[in-house]
Each structure stands twice: as structure tokens, then as C-alpha cells.
Amino acid sequence: MKVAIIGAGAVGGLLTARLSATEAEVTLVARSNAAAAIRQNGLTMLTPQNRLVRLTPRVTDDSLSLGPQDVVILCVKAHALRGTVDSVAPLLGPDTAIVPMVNGVPWWYPHRQPEPLADRPLTSVDPDGLLWRSIDPDRVVGATTFVAVEGDGPCRVRHVNDQRFVFGDIANRDRPAVDAIVSLFGQAGFQAARADDIREAIWVKLWGNLAFNPLSVLTGATLGRLCGDPGSRGVGRAMMLEAKAVAEALGVRFATSVDDRIANAAAVGDFKTSMLQDYEGGRRLELDAILGAVIELAERARVEVPLLRAILALVDLRARERPS
């Protein structure tokens, strides 16, 4: 199996390190400066058991040199997906599966959905429909992950906690590609599963992201602190319940509860959310995909989400007022 991983951030580095230990032919596609750094220094991963793993992965800044792949995994921020379109195109063969490993509501979410979605792109995450036109949704294998991982430049990754990945066809078809990807991640030592409804899995992950990521930026607190403090935990829970109402209005049915999701988040401990890491690093925040898209879906479903709107306004202001 040929696998291309686009993006040399924390998740891209983790997947490169772990999947390279399988029989798959894995190549990391990175920007030229990151690719050069990895060629020179290799990739170092610190495991949850504080064990250092060093490797020299295949890496390139030229996807055209690779040819068609069996699987292309997109490991970039949601707002950076548009910049991957030119890199993805040369990697596509007739049966290539595309796996977006991104936070928030993915651009493909309305695909083959009834009203009020009905295959109409979400302007919050795909303003002019570029992703919808450029990446065939029928190629997509939906994915979500609950791993806690931190990046320290293009050459170092710290895997803090958890091993879980969930995959599923976004049109609920029986696709061999889904089983092949689940098997590959299992070979890499991850806890990988196939979802009967990948949209439900994405919402469960999103509950935590849309609540505690923005709250971490507003407070500077770690995930464990946010879950443990009664006040911030209550705000996060109310945000999750608003999002749950949106998903249910769109036909999603949940087998887990908001309280269980909070308990899972608390178990991660004193980990800085990815949004807090981005805020402190002066990088753009994933607000459009994590909050903006949920608000857009709420508008389509005619569900009121006043708390989500308020938190988005506050975090957006904090990001714009961030010291340079």
C-alpha cells in the first residue's frame, strides 16, 4: 500500500512515525523548508511512555514525484486545506482514498445529505466551493482522532495521550478502502475502528473541540483544568448541548453522552489544546471549522445557539487583539 501524508505538523509527524513502521510505503509531503529540515535531522517522536523514537522517513516537497497513491491523508489545519489542492491532484489514481484528518466540520459534510444540507457547500469552511470542486467527495474516507499530540517544529513530535482513530465512508457505502485503512492503523499500534456513522463520530469529537479549545484561548487553562473547574466545565457542557441539538436536527443520533465526552477529555489531563498552542504560537486559529461551521449548520437547521455565537465573538476578538 502506498500512503502519502500531507502536512508535517503534530498529527502528520505522528502518523509518519507510526505508519512508517508498517509494511506500507509511506511518504510525508511537506513544505520545502520542513522537508529540508526532516531530511537533515530526521524525525523524533516522544511516546506517552517517554521513549524517544528517531527515524528518517521518506519526505518530499514535490508530490508530482510520487505518482498515484492508494491513500492520501490530509494532516493540515482546516483553513489550510485549500492550499493542498495542487499537491493532492498528482497523487490520485482511479481508486485513491482521501482521508482528511482535520478538526471541526469537514467541507464534505453536506455530501449526499437531505435538506437543509442537500450537497450545498459550507461557506464557513469552503467559501467559494474550491474544495468541493477539486476533491471528489466520493473519494473521501471520513476520519476523526482523539489523540493528544504536540509539535515542536517540523522534526519533533510529542505524543501525549490516547491512540484512537475512527474511519467511515461518508455515504455509508461498504468500501474496502475503509477496512484497509483501519487495518493499516491497527498494524501501527493505534486503536482503529470503523464507524457505522462517521458523522456521529465527528460530532462527538467536535463537542470537545468547540467547547474546550475556545475556552482554553480565553482562559489560558489546560484541558484538565477546564474540565475540573465547575464553572468552565459548566460553560463547556452548555456549548456541547447546543451543538448536540444542531446535530440531532440534522438527523444524527448519538450513542454517547455529553457527560461521557467531558470525562474522556478530563482523562487527557493537563494538555494544552491545539487552539491554545496555535494562539500562543501566533498562528491562525481554526475558528471557522470548529465554531463557524456549527453556527452555519445551526442556521440551516433553524436551531438557536446563542452561547456558541457569544464564545466565537470573544475568541475572535482575543485573536485579533493578540500581541504581535
For Cα atoms 299, 305, 102, give the angle at the middle one, nearest 5 degrees: 75
Around Cβ 224, how many Cβ atoms within 10 Å? 15
Distances from the Cα of 322 to the Cα of 5, 222, 237, 284, 317, angstroms: 32, 19, 27, 11, 8
- In the structure grid, which three cell numbers stand for residue 92, read together? 490520485
Taking CA atoms, 114 is separated from 24, 25, 212, 295, in Å, by: 37, 39, 30, 18
Indicate which residue of 2, 77, 205, 272 is catalytic. 205
Catalytic residue at 205?
Answer: yes
What separation, in Å, do the N-terminal and C-terminal C-alpha atoms of the chain show? Answer: 44
Counted residue by residue, the chain has a size of: 324
Q: What is the DSSP letter of 290?
A: I
Return the active site residues.
Answer: 205
